Structure formats: structure tokens, C-alpha cells
Amino acid sequence: MIKDIRILDLKSIPCPLNVVKCKLALEKLSIEDNLIIELDKGEPEEMVFKTLDQLGYIVDILLDETNWIRISVIYGNI
């Protein structure tokens, strides 16, 4: 069961600042917390996905709009 859901809006935040903010938010999560991240498509999307993959997170795409995307990252195994 997911304990807590947090939303991080990184739309209009340039690289690499969006990656840094994402990593800082992930550090604050507890086991089974869910982080929802909204970010622009293109380089921001690629860099955040690459970073999350390197850190071993599994990402689910929740919403795929024309200019931005909403993803879910769950910390820990559920």
C-alpha cells in the first residue's frame, strides 16, 4: 500500500536543475512513498528518465501531453 503521494512540478525548470530537484525530492521519500513528477518533454524528460534509471527507480507514465509529461516514481518495492 502506498503511504504518501507527493507532487513535484518541474515544468519550465531547465536542465540540469530539474534533475537536481528531482533527486532532492527522492531523498526525502520513505519506503513506498509515491512521487509524481511533471516535466517538460525533450531534454528535461530524457535527463530525468536517465537519472531515475541509473538510480534504479521504475517510472510509470501517468499522463503524456503535447509539451509535458506526468510520471510516477515509487520508492521501495510494493
Grade residue 34 by pLDDT with cuts at 50, 70 and 90. confident
Q: How many CA atoms lie within 13 A of 7 on its CB side?
A: 6
Supply the pTM of this predicted model.
Answer: 0.87
Is CATH 3.30.110.40 the right assignment for the domain spanning 5-74? Answer: yes
pLDDT digits (tens, 9 = 90+) for 42-76: 999 999 999 998 888 889 999 999 999 999 997 66
All cell numbers assigned to 48: 530525468
